[in-house]
Amino acid sequence: MNAAAVATTRPSPLALLLELTKFRISVASTFTAAMGYIAFRQGVDLPLLSTLVGTLSLAMASSALNEIQERHLDARMERTRHRPLPSGAVKPLTALAVVGALTLLGLGLLWRLHGLVPAALGLLAMGWYNGLYTPLKRVSAFAVVPGSLIGALPPAIGWTAAGGALGDPALLALCFVFFVWQVPHFWLLALLHAESYAQADFPTLTKFFTPEQILRLTFTWTCGTLAAGALLPLFHATRGLGAVLILAAASLWLLLRFTRLLRPDPNPALVRRAFMDINLYALALMIAVISAALGLP
């Protein structure tokens, strides 16, 4: 292969940046921040944009910092060894500069335009993810339980950026749903990539439980997620007949889908579908909350 052919296959700087910062996952966190903002403001306005850019910047910075922290472990796993840092496409110092720039941008936007509380929550999310969860998951298969606080913080960032109080019961109900949801979501992912995690010596539930037992635990946590979602109207986190019907339909659908996890001898295809299903439930929940806030039927 000549030099020209190699050049055409080399990822562009933009592609490397998006992969380094796990852009798609970072966008998902930003969606929940948008939900929190719209839920309190009961509408969409221009300051929502700065909230989303600030939240996205911090999420991308945190993801890139995680890539720096785990670059040596990523190099040992087949599915991650081609990432920018373990492959050598991006140098650690360059990645650290990206982390610094994105962190300053995210904190600057949230603090200057929305106040100290959303900025502090964004900084807490970074500290919890990179300072607690990332090192903890190297020593405990249950790190995701305290680590799930990360998933509960973006809705609070959006809510407080819109002017809402941090202790509002409606916000706490929303945050609790996404806290509980993170656990079955991660355990399904960990089950799908158990062999990869073993390559890097990450402790996983497969060292303590059989796949069937893990899926029973996942089913139980999913039922807890559905119960938490069902409480949202009671805490006025969402309201209106349309939103309640969306929540009820999504909950019943996911419950019926997840009963298949209780069958003996689960296969990877079933686990993969369950992982997609629980993500779709989260999307349906966000749609219900946003549609109610916008006054849609």
122-134 tens-digit pLDDT: 999 999 999 999 9
What band does 6 get if pLDDT is binned at 50, 70 and 90? very low
| Cβ–Cβ under 8 Å, residues 237 and 170 | yes
Question: Which tens digit of pLDDT belongs to each residue from 196-249?
Answer: 888 888 888 888 888 899 999 999 999 999 999 999 999 999 988 899 999 999
The separation between the first and the last C-alpha atoms of the chain, rounded to the nearest angstrom, is 59
The answer to whether residues 148 and 17 touch, using CB atoms and an 8 Å cutoff, is no
Alpha carbons 189 and 103: distance in angstroms, whole number: 28
Kindly report the pTM of this predicted structure. Answer: 0.93
* pLDDT tens sequence across 153-189: 999 999 999 999 999 999 999 999 999 999 999 999 9
103/98 Cα distance (integer angstroms): 8
Q: Which fold has domain 12-165?
A: Tetracycline Repressor; domain 2 (1.10.357)
